[in-house]
Structure 1
Amino acid sequence: MKMNRIILFLFAFSLCACFDDKGNYEYHEVAEITIENIPEVVEVLGNSDHIVVKPKIVSSLEGEIGADNTNFEFGYRIEKKSGGVMVSGQRWVDLNPSKTLELDTLAAFVADTYIGWFTVTDKRSGIQASATFDIKVSSPTYEGWMVLCDEGEEERVRMDMISVISAERIIPAYDLLAPLGLPDLKYAKGIGFYPNLFASPNDVIYVMTGEGTYKLDRETFKTDVSWDINNIDFIIPPADERVVCYTSVNNSSTAGALACFCVTDAGNAYAQVLGSAGAAFEYPVNTSERGKAPEYKVAPYVGVSMARPGNASTALLYDTDNRRFVGWKYNYSDDDAMQTLTPLPDPENGLFSFKTGMELVHMESTRYSNGLVYAVLQDGGGRRRVYGINMSGNGFVQEVKYENMDAPDFDKATAFAFHSQFPYMFYAVGNKVYLHNLGTNTTYPMSTIALGEREVVTMLKFNLYRQCSLGQLNNQSEEFMARQYELMVASYNTDAPDNNGGKLGFYPVDGVNNTVTKRVEYDGFARIKDVVYRERR
């Protein structure tokens, strides 16, 4: 009995304690947070499109939560769906450091599938809700115009691209190679490209700079120091030389080029005969005997026929020490012969001497007259002239000579381009572009190329499709094929407040009226040095 009274007392005491304690706490219902309007998949073009998400947040107690509600914090992050490191050893990247409700950020990621995580946190209770969505980043490098630039006063090498996603969607993408492994380099020189189908699809793309030349992965554009041309294409890597010119010589086969040539900033030329296993650059060819030390320097130009396959198997270079043209010719009967350059002998009753005694200012390969190579030369008095050497038929035929040209400020021109359908030479002086009709010796200022007072032309060029020279690209539209005969005009605004004052305009050429008209123009580039179309089959 005594024990029962004790239990009853303790129960009563406990009950009273509970009643007394009830007034010491406030009980709150926990809010349920729901997230709406999150897409299942966001598809974007890397380094061009923005990842945009506009969620709707609803609290079971407070209703819809606005972006200005300071009781809630929002977050977005991204990580690879397949796992692995995103950048700098981290597995994920904060997409929204400002913690805003809506996301709108550049898709600055390589092509891959990612997971996006969205979180909303009630800062009062610590309650958090989240939602995930896929982010599919496609490559802007698949097809389009590769635009090689120098950025800023330090002339940092930068590759932009005008990406052709479809015939209806063509958009610029900027600074593509920075996240893809290209070392921090300076002084852009040019882009080397040729389509190669030997053994397997293995198109060659090289970025040439004053501090090294690097091969890009044909699909992703990824690269790193192991893709230096010295490691990829040379048996004996040259010391203290950097490749600044790279081109191919046509083959009778549509599978790829007969050979590739490169010229270094030291003035040495190298030949690489393709179509066989282990093809590589070996000894310099600017010598009279294979394996000997170079005997003279050559200019950073290689002239070839851009006409049909099998039209020629020769290359034209220029000896800057002796101021003369030298040639390379594939010799099927003597493997050693194809590894050296040879001074070109003057023909009887020729138009000019191959030993010009002049400075080579510019040399350009065209399809005009079935494979004409134009050379702009300057004598000791500063007067310039144009020679034309036909590369068809495996020879070096002197075809045209243009002297005493009625071309204003031609001696001051810094950029040139020769048309492959008409006898037209375009040249630029400052912010002015001129068309010189070589056939009539008449010059026409291109008033339709209107540039500002603080703009300067950095490049003139016609982008001839290399696959046309190999008998490919036969299934393309007439509109697409016509693009290679449009004059590309690159300019830079020196008053640009940032490093993005570069523009690239495309101008169809009227071969009857000696005029051009602007079809389209793109901006936002750095100082453009070279443009090459990334062809697809």
Structure 2
Amino acid sequence: MKRILLILLPILVASCAKDKGNYTYHDINELAISGVNTGYSVLTNIDTLHIDPVIDMTQTSNDASRFDYIWIAKKGSTIIDTLGTDKVLSYPVTLAPDNYTLQLRVLDKETTVVWSKNTTLAVGTPYSRGIMLSGENTEGHAEVEMLSMVADTMLIKNILSESGLSTLQNAINVVHTGGNASYMKLWVFTGSGSYYLDRLTMKATEANRLSHLVYTTDPINTEQLDPAVLAPQIIDKSGNVSSTNVRAMLCQDGHIFTTYFLLNGGDFYANPVNRDKDHPETLLKAAPYLLYPLGNMSSMLWYDSQNQRFMNYSSFILNTASQTLADAPGDIFPWNQAASGRSLVYAENTRNTDGGSTNGNSFAILKDQSNQHFIYKFYANGSTPAKRDFYAIKPIATDFDKADFYAFSSNRTVVFYSVGAKLYAYDYNPGNEKIYSFPQIGTDEITMLKFDTQIDYQTNSLYIATYNVTNKGTLRRFMVGSNPNVVQLNPAENGEWDGLIKVTNMSWRAVN
């Protein structure tokens, strides 16, 4: 080894000795890119991202063809998309909502050097926060719009008609489930079919049906299962729900499906629970209401429209059927209406806490065979729901039996109702019953009444939707006065939106 090293050493010395070259160095054209913000925030399918960078060079060049430009969106080292190939970026945003690195690369073709500038790009969706509206468009088809409130309030139109689904009829509701992100869905309920939409794009296919989530041994045609009511609902501005592990879906044919996510392996449903545990072989048709405390849905009531009685589903974990509720002599009202001859007209969950109902009382309107109407107030909680109060509607309540819509205040003994274009409020406080009318609402047809129990339930704002052919749909928000001696409606600041569809329902969405 030593002999080999000694032989190679003269060769290396000779090589170094021969390197007598003369080198000349030249400055290249250097680029500095400015005029690019440190970050950008845009809405996909809404905004156009416009950036006009300033490029300073150490060597003047008037040859525009000397440079190539490329704007790319990256996630880490992975290129997601090319957004533009001109110096000035003008990009109608179609990227999926996410956080990206936006990079401008400038190639100097004369020097073959690439210069770059990075910034951050946050892509959001206009659908992530706001009031979702369902109703009819001018052709009479079901439609969904949204008052997007991600930044400034913006009306987004034609959501359902551009979703990829066929034309649907008879809008019922549009509902974001809220809750655990793993089980979130956004449902559109209509009389001709109910579908869940992609929450980011608001697109859907005909396969997005409840039938693909139901595994039943009952002789039910699952392809005809179209939900109309979902519980629990979102209960605050942040999009929370009271019970994150359970969900109930009431279908238009009267079947009720429930799930406990951890036991069912996700948002999947087994046999319907609209059956009496003592006669489980018979399925009963439920009225379109799920009654439960909005603040905590550990159980729920539903109404058996075949036998005119309230039924109790007392546990989402243990029960596969529902049970009848016992009535006692002297009760203020019966759960089973057989003896009274009454039937259900309407029902609603509220934030009313009378009688110690911490998580919210429910109200129901029933009528007897002589068309006398009654209000039941109860706490639909646990295995023994509590009867809180009973009120017989007085004759002073003008056309109460003809109402198109009802809405119960959580904070007052008041139920609002509408007949055509006329709005009334009936104070049912025993001994102090009063009726009020509100001609200031105008003469347009009232298409929806709804108290807010989702966005800011403590104010319990009343939303009123109206419609006329010329100005289309209008949604207004009112505050109900707190003076116990009178019922007053005061328009809320910045609480009117027009140019809408014919609104028949609304709900709040707070997250993707």
TM-score normalized by the length of structure 2: 0.69
TM-aligned CA deviation for residue 511 of structure 1: 2.0
CA separation in 2, counterparts of 1:212 and 1:526? 19
CA separation in 2, counterparts of 1:240 and 1:112? 34
Question: 1:245 is paired with a residue of what secondary structure?
Answer: strand
Task: List alignment gaps of at least 5 residues for structure 1.
Answer: 1-38, 54-79, 83-106, 114-134, 466-479
| Change over 3 Å in CA distance of 1:394–1:142 after alignment to 2 | same
CA separation in 1, counterparts of 2:467 and 2:160? 21
| Change over 3 Å in CA distance of 1:398–1:230 after alignment to 2 | same
| Change over 3 Å in CA distance of 1:262–1:482 after alignment to 2 | closer
CA separation in 2, counterparts of 1:143 and 1:254? 15
TM-aligned CA deviation for residue 224 of structure 1: 1.8
2:260 to 257, 273, 278: 273
Question: 1:411 is paired with a residue of what secondary structure?
Answer: helix
| Change over 3 Å in CA distance of 1:510–1:372 after alignment to 2 | same
Q: Determine if the alignment matches structure 1 residue 410 to structure 2 residue 400.
A: yes
1:506 is aligned to 477
2:172 is aligned to 189
Residue identity opposite 1:330 in structure 2: S
Q: Do 1:424 and 1:435's aligned partners in 2 also have CA atoms closer than 8 Å? A: yes
CA separation in 2, counterparts of 1:349 and 1:48? 61
1:315 is aligned to 300
2:24 is aligned to none
Question: 2:207 is paired with a residue of what secondary structure?
Answer: helix
Q: Do 1:306 and 1:366's aligned partners in 2 also have CA atoms closer than 8 Å? A: yes
TM-aligned CA deviation for residue 502 of structure 1: 1.2
Q: Do 1:196 and 1:257's aligned partners in 2 also have CA atoms closer than 8 Å? A: yes
| Change over 3 Å in CA distance of 1:154–1:267 after alignment to 2 | same
TM-aligned CA deviation for residue 504 of structure 1: 0.8
TM-aligned CA deviation for residue 325 of structure 1: 1.1
Q: Determine if the alignment matches structure 1 residue 161 to structure 2 residue 146.
A: yes
TM-aligned CA deviation for residue 269 of structure 1: 1.9
2:287 is aligned to 299
Structural mapping, 1:86-235, within 5 Å: 139-155=125-141, 157-166=142-151, 169-197=152-180, 200=181, 202-232=183-213
| Change over 3 Å in CA distance of 1:148–1:46 after alignment to 2 | farther
CA separation in 1, counterparts of 2:467 and 2:270? 39
TM-aligned CA deviation for residue 264 of structure 1: 1.8
Q: Determine if the alignment matches structure 1 residue 441 to structure 2 residue 416.
A: no
Q: Determine if the alignment matches structure 1 residue 386 to structure 2 residue 386.
A: no
| Change over 3 Å in CA distance of 1:317–1:44 after alignment to 2 | same
2:489 to 502, 516, 521: 516
CA separation in 2, counterparts of 1:214 and 1:459? 22
Computed over aligned residues only, the root mean square deviation of the Cα atoms, in angstroms, reads: 3.9
| Change over 3 Å in CA distance of 1:374–1:254 after alignment to 2 | closer
Residue identity opposite 2:314 in structure 1: K
CA separation in 2, counterparts of 1:531 and 1:255? 19
2:348 is aligned to 364
Which moved further from structure 2: 412-421 or 381-390?
381-390
List per-residue Cα deviations over 1:123-164 (Å, max 9, x = no partner).
xxxxxxxxxxxx998522010000011224543x21100110
TM-aligned CA deviation for residue 110 of structure 1: 8.5
Task: List alignment gaps of at least 5 residues for structure 2.
Answer: 1-35, 52-71, 75-91, 99-120
Structural mapping, 1:447-486, within 5 Å: 447-448=439-440, 450-451=441-442, 453=443, 455-465=444-454, 481=456, 485-486=460-461
| Change over 3 Å in CA distance of 1:255–1:532 after alignment to 2 | closer
TM-aligned CA deviation for residue 172 of structure 1: 1.6
TM-aligned CA deviation for residue 320 of structure 1: 1.0
| Change over 3 Å in CA distance of 1:244–1:368 after alignment to 2 | same
CA separation in 2, counterparts of 1:289 and 1:411? 34
CA separation in 1, counterparts of 2:479 and 2:150? 22
List per-residue Cα deviations over 1:489-509 (Å, max 9, x = no partner).
11121455xxxx111111111
Residue identity opposite 1:241 in structure 2: L
Question: 2:162 is paired with a residue of what secondary structure?
Answer: helix
1:355 to 321, 336, 340: 336
Q: Determine if the alignment matches structure 1 residue 264 to structure 2 residue 239.
A: no
List per-residue Cα deviations over 1:449-474 (Å, max 9, x = no partner).
x22x3x21111112322xxxxxxxxx
Q: Determine if the alignment matches structure 1 residue 377 to structure 2 residue 366.
A: yes
CA separation in 2, counterparts of 1:291 and 1:234? 21
Q: Determine if the alignment matches structure 1 residue 491 to structure 2 residue 480.
A: no
| Change over 3 Å in CA distance of 1:430–1:354 after alignment to 2 | same
Structural mapping, 1:48-87, within 5 Å: none
Seq. identity, %:
23
Residue identity opposite 2:333 in structure 1: F
CA separation in 2, counterparts of 1:282 and 1:290? 19
List per-residue Cα deviations over 1:345-385 (Å, max 9, x = no partner).
11342001212232311110011023211001122232322
Count of residue pairs the alignment pairs up: 404
CA separation in 2, counterparts of 1:207 and 1:250? 15
1:532 to 479, 487, 507: 507
Q: Do 1:290 and 1:339's aligned partners in 2 also have CA atoms closer than 8 Å? A: no
TM-score normalized by the length of structure 1: 0.66
CA separation in 1, counterparts of 2:343 and 2:155? 38
Question: 1:282 is paired with a residue of what secondary structure?
Answer: coil
1:77 is aligned to none
| Change over 3 Å in CA distance of 1:255–1:511 after alignment to 2 | closer
| Change over 3 Å in CA distance of 1:536–1:112 after alignment to 2 | closer
1:397 is aligned to 386
List per-residue Cα deviations over 1:26-81 (Å, max 9, x = no partner).
xxxxxxxxxxxxx999987567779999xxxxxxxxxxxxxxxxxxxxxxxxxx99
| Change over 3 Å in CA distance of 1:434–1:365 after alignment to 2 | same
CA separation in 1, counterparts of 2:482 and 2:96? 42
Q: Do 2:406 and 2:449's aligned partners in 1 also have CA atoms closer than 8 Å? A: yes
| Change over 3 Å in CA distance of 1:484–1:533 after alignment to 2 | farther
